[in-house]
Amino acid sequence: MPTVEIDGKRIEVEDGVTVIVAAERAGIEIPHYCWHPGLSIAGNCRMCLVEIEKAPKLQIACNTRVTDGMVVYTQSEKTQAAQKAVLEFLLINHPIDCPICDQAGECKLQEYYMDYDRQQSRVPLSGKVHKAKSLPIGPHIMLDQERCVLCSRCIRFLDEVTKTHELAFYERGDHNVLALAPGRRSTTRTRPTSPTSVRSARSPTATSASARASGTSSARNRSAPAAPTAATSKSTTARGASSATCRASIRR
Ligand code: SF4
Ligand code: FES
């Protein structure tokens, strides 16, 4: 059985165990968004980057298997710089509407920001990419695309656990959004939208030529979906939305 040293703690684990799991067993938390032990490994959030001795660059702990004699640093200077940079990247277009977010106070974005980032955004609110704020994606769920960090956990859950495939990523780069898959329609009744609260949000359309891939590594990308409901082609403010984020998804 390989023995690995993580932040000075030595631990013996079975063959095939990943660094993030070995660290957890040693009582060391490696920050992560996309990894979940019950799902396949996507490796797309990069929040779990760690420094490994003799490796030429930082490695993601969620998809790196331990080898005998491996020495890992989860809080080295290089690791901390990467954690800070990844968080800044994940929050570039985040609306930072924590005061009106139902998840505030128990949110991994907030927690990791305080633990690993703590810097002012270099992008003013007016310069952020806006997306749909209240997409009904099921009888009880509203999706706020702006708060989604595109970890793909929900997609993998629907693909691998329920096998119902309702969600997928569309568009590329900073236009990348989570949305309902073609043919999947929400049965949710939508709330009335105040005319003054409408933002210029993007919603996937059936005619979008570029809506094929997301740039993330494992979530399946599909061709552009038809607008799920009439209501999803417009947006509302976060205040008008009834809780839109992935509550359980990025917690573990
Ligand atoms: S809605 Fe939540 S679980 Fe789904 S991709 Fe976005 S952040 Fe991840
Ligand atoms: S948790 Fe490792 S890349 Fe997301």
What are the residue boundaries of the structural domains of the chain, listed by start? 1-128, 129-188+196-246
Does the pLDDT at position 200 exceed 50? no
Does the pLDDT at position 33 exceed 80? yes
Ligand that lies nearest to the alpha carbon of residue 90, given by its number in the listed order: 1
Does the pLDDT at position 172 exceed 60? yes
Domain 1-128, second-level architecture? Roll (3.10)
Tell me the CA–centroid distance for residue 8 and ligand 1, in Å: 34
CA distances from 137 to 86, 203, 227, 241 (A): 28, 13, 11, 12
Q: What is the DSSP letter of 106?
A: S
Would you say the CB of residue 60 lies under 6 angstroms from ligand 2?
Answer: yes
Give tens-digit pLDDT for 231-251.
333 333 333 333 334 443 444
Does the pLDDT at position 213 exceed 50? no
Give tens-digit pLDDT for 95-147.
989 999 999 999 999 999 999 999 988 999 899 999 999 988 888 889 999 99
pLDDT of amino acid 8: 97
Q: Could you tell me the pLDDT band of residue 191, with boundaries at 50, 70 and 90?
A: low
Would you say the CB of residue 46 lies under 6 angstroms from ligand 2?
Answer: yes
Tell me the CA–centroid distance for residue 43 and ligand 2, in Å: 4
Tell me the CA–centroid distance for residue 17 and ligand 1, in Å: 25
pLDDT of amino acid 184: 80
The pLDDT of 156-174, averaged and rounded, is 95
pLDDT of amino acid 183: 81
Would you say the CB of residue 47 lies under 6 angstroms from ligand 2?
Answer: yes
Sequence-ordered alpha helix ranges (H) in the chain: 19-25, 77-91, 108-112, 153-160
pLDDT of amino acid 94: 94
pLDDT of amino acid 182: 85
Q: Could you tell me the pLDDT band of residue 176, with boundaries at 50, 70 and 90?
A: very high
Mean residue pLDDT of the chain comes to 80
Does the pLDDT at position 151 exceed 90? yes
Does the pLDDT at position 84 exceed 90? yes
Tell me the CA–centroid distance for residue 46 and ligand 2, in Å: 5
Q: Could you tell me the pLDDT band of residue 186, with boundaries at 50, 70 and 90?
A: low
Asked whether the whole model's pTM tops 0.95, one would answer: no
